[in-house]
């Protein structure tokens, strides 16, 4: 980091305009908007681009599988790839990611197998992967609860004296929850190695950002909690990666938490059961489609000569292989035991739970008998 960037480490007020390293035409930016952050190397940017292409293809495939009825629900992250991929790329293997239901592509990028991730959305199992193996907590549906878990894990790491960093992903709506405020405050007071990455996709289902908060930006809230805050163009993967990586290393070095707001847009519906035409305009959607984060980095990489046609074709082919593997895995009917629903809830199951288990067991036996007759 440059001296200038180090001085910006304890900003009193986050920048007025989002920090940016590549503009929407795919041109690198110098000076003010870069706020002391340097453009990542071409190799790093190609790696980020590759992950974004895989993530987008995966997301499209999962959306299609959901429409075909293979999944119960799916909250797409289309348009949020720059935030999601940067979050994971900034972490080291020993770090922990605390994602929400929206952040499926972040899990993919962290190396969790598609079938393991998606068994949750199909309703097969509590979480289909081992959180400890990947250092990824189960995707949280109760808003902002994962932020408190991240602080707890980070505080424990600090007490143990190891260099683990926790990164919590939150939506703009989640920042209105009491849990988010408690997490920010505890993290700051305890000096915990946490990065809070708020993906401000401007909508909490049908509630727009300006009905959630009167703050100029969500990054501004960092001032009140006594920690650094950064307002970043969430569709600029170069800026997101530069800022998130420096916040992760800042935390690792013992300097405490950071709030980062990535300004982005949820291009799809909230989930497959939502109809966004009822609350936002097609003009708004079209405007943000023109700011597509994947187009932007591709334009930059092609323009700078870093992305050749061969590399681009190779990445596209890998994305198709991933999509086909995801399709095959999800088109096979899972073998599940519905009674497992009651396992792992309590160490010693409560009588009411056992009663419910017996009720379900009886129902299943009756259904089996009808099918067999
Ligand atoms: C504690 C809690 N309250 C309400 C909900 C219902 N709910 C589900 S998603 C959502 C909107 C969240 O918006 P945001 O945090 O901006 O995330 P996004 O879905 O846009 O990624 C709400 C209110 C919930 N899941 N948890």
Q: Measured from the CA of 212, which atom of ligand 1 is nearest? A: 16
Q: Indicate the helix (H) or strand (E) that contains 309.
A: helix 309-331
| C-alpha distances out from residue 196 to 83, 124, 147, 213, 342, Å | 12, 30, 7, 18, 33
Most ligand 1 atoms within 8 A of CB, residue of 173, 180, 203 to mutate: 173
Judge whether 122 and 70 are in contact, CB under 8 Å: yes
Please give the pLDDT value at position 11.
Answer: 53
Q: Specify the pLDDT at position 160.
A: 96
Least confident piece of the model among 25-34, 55-64, 81-90, 223-232: 25-34
Which region among 171-175, 221-225, 259-263, 342-346 has the lowest average model confidence (pLDDT)?
A: 342-346
Burial class (CB in 10 A: 0-12, 13-18, 19+), 257: buried
Atom of ligand 1 nearest to the CA of 270: 19
Mean pLDDT along residues 46-55: 98
Flag whether pLDDT at 354 surpasses 90.
Answer: yes
SS3 180: helix
Tell me which of 106, 205, 265 to substitute to probe ligand 1's pocket, judged by most ligand atoms within 8 Å of the beta carbon.
205
Q: Is 208 in the pocket of ligand 1 (CB under 6 A)?
A: no
Mean pLDDT computed over every residue of the chain: 94
Share of the chain above pLDDT 90, in %: 86
Mean pLDDT check: name the lowest of 122-131, 161-170, 293-302. Answer: 122-131
Report the SS3 class of residue 303.
helix
- Of the two residues 182 and 370, the one the predictor is more confident about is 182
Q: Report the greatest alpha carbon distance in the chain.
A: 78
Q: What is the pLDDT of residues 72-101, one digit of tens each?
A: 999 999 999 999 999 999 999 999 999 999
Where is pLDDT greater, at 96 or 344? Answer: 96
Q: Answer yes or no: is pLDDT of 276 > 70.
A: yes
Q: In this predicted structure, what is the pLDDT of residue 286?
A: 95
Tell whether the model's pLDDT for residue 6 goes beyond 50. no
Q: Which residues contact 95 (CB under 8 A, 6 or more apart)?
A: 135, 164, 165, 166, 167, 248
Q: Whose CA is nearest to atom 17 of ligand 1?
A: 171
Give yes or no for residue 41 having a pLDDT over 70: yes
Interval between CA 254 and ligand 1 midpoint (Å): 32
**Is the shortest distance between the CB of 361 and ligand 1 below 6 Å?**
no
What pLDDT is attached to residue 344?
A: 83
Averaged pLDDT, 95-118:
97
- Please spell the DSSP secondary structure of 318-341, one letter per residue: HHHHHHHHHHHHHHSPP---GGGG
204 lines ligand 1 (CB under 6 A): yes
**Probe residue for ligand 1, chosen from 204, 261, 262, 273 as the CB with the greatest number of ligand atoms within 8 Å:** 204
pTM over 0.85: yes
Taking the centre of ligand 1 as the mean of its atom positions, its distance from the CA of residue 359, in whole angstroms, is 32
Whether pLDDT at 334 is above 90: no
Q: With H, G, I as helix, E, B as strand and everything else as coil, classify residue 367.
A: helix
Three-class secondary structure of residue 159 per DSSP = helix
CA distance 125 to 116: 9
> Average pLDDT, stretch 324-341?
92
Residue 179, ligand 1, Cβ within 6 A: no
Q: How far is the CA of 205 from the centre of ligand 1 (A)?
A: 7
Q: What residue owns the CA closest to ligand 1's atom 24?
A: 142
pLDDT > 50? residue 152: yes
Active-site residue set: 266, 270, 279
Looking at residue 8, its pLDDT comes to 46
Mean pLDDT lowest among 4-18, 172-186, 293-307: 4-18
Query: Which residue's alpha carbon is at the smallest distance from atom 20 of ligand 1?
Result: 204
Nearest to 151 by CA among 178, 118, 179, 186: 186
Give the distance (Å) from ligand 1 centre to CA of residue 333.
Answer: 30
Inform me whether the pLDDT recorded for 125 exceeds 80. Answer: no
Ligand 1 contact, 265 CB (< 6 A):
no
Report which protein residue has its CA nearest ligand 1's atom 21.
Answer: 171
pLDDT at 5: 45
Output the pLDDT for position 12.
61
Burial zone of 251 (CB within 10 Å; 0-12 exposed, 13-18 middle, 19+ buried): buried
Distance 61 CA to ligand 1 centre (A): 23
Q: Is the CB of 234 under 6 A from ligand 1?
A: no
Of the CA atoms within 13 Å of residue 9, those in its CB half-sphere come to: 18
Among 31-45, 196-210, 237-251, the least confident range: 31-45
- The neighbour count for residue 44, using CB atoms within 10 Å, is 16
- The pLDDT assigned to 1 comes to 47
């Amino acid at each position: 980091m440059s001296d200038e960037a180090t001085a910006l480490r304890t900003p009193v007020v986050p920048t007025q305009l989002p920090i940016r390293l590549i503009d929407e035409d795919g041109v690198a930016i110098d000076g003010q908007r870069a706020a002391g952050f340097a453009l990542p190397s071409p190799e790093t940017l190609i790696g980020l681009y590759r992950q974004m292409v895989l993530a987008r293809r995966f997301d499209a495939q999962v959306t299609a599988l959901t429409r075909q009825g293979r999944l119960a629900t799916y909250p797409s992250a289309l348009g949020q790839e720059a935030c999601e991929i940067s979050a994971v790329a900034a972490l080291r293997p020993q770090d922990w990611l605390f994602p929400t239901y929206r952040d499926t592509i972040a899990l993919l990028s962290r190396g969790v197998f598609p079938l393991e991730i998606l068994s949750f959305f199909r309703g097969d199992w509590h979480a289909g992967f081992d959180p400890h193996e990947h250092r990824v907590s189960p995707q949280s549906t109760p808003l902002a609860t994962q932020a408190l878990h991240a602080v707890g894990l980070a505080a424990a790491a600090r007490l143990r004296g190891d260099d683990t960093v926790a990164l919590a992903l939150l939506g703009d709506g989640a920042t209105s929850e009491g849990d988010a405020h408690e997490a920010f405050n505890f993290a700051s007071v305890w000096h915990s190695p946490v990065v809070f990455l708020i993906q401000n996709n401007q909508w909490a289902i049908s509630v727009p950002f300006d009905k959630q908060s009167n703050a100029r930006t969500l990054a501004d809230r960092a001032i009140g909690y006594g920690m650094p805050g950064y307002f970043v163009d969430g569709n600029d993967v170069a800026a997101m990666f530069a800022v998130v990586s420096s916040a992760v290393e800042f935390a690792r070095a013992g300097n405490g938490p950071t709030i980062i707001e990535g300004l982005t847009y949820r291009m799809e519906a909230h989930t497959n059961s939502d109809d966004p035409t009822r609350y936002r305009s097609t003009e708004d959607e079209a405007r943000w489609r023109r700011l597509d984060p994947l187009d932007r980095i591709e334009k930059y990489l092609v323009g700078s000569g870093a992305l050749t046609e061969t590399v681009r074709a190779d990445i596209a082919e890998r994305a198709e292989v991933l999509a086909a593997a995801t399709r095959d895995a999800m088109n096979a009917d899972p073998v599940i035991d519905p009674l497992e629903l009651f396992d792992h809830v309590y160490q010693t199951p409560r009588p009411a739970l056992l009663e419910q288990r017996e009720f379900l067991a009886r129902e299943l036996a009756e259904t089996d008998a009808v099918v067999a007759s």
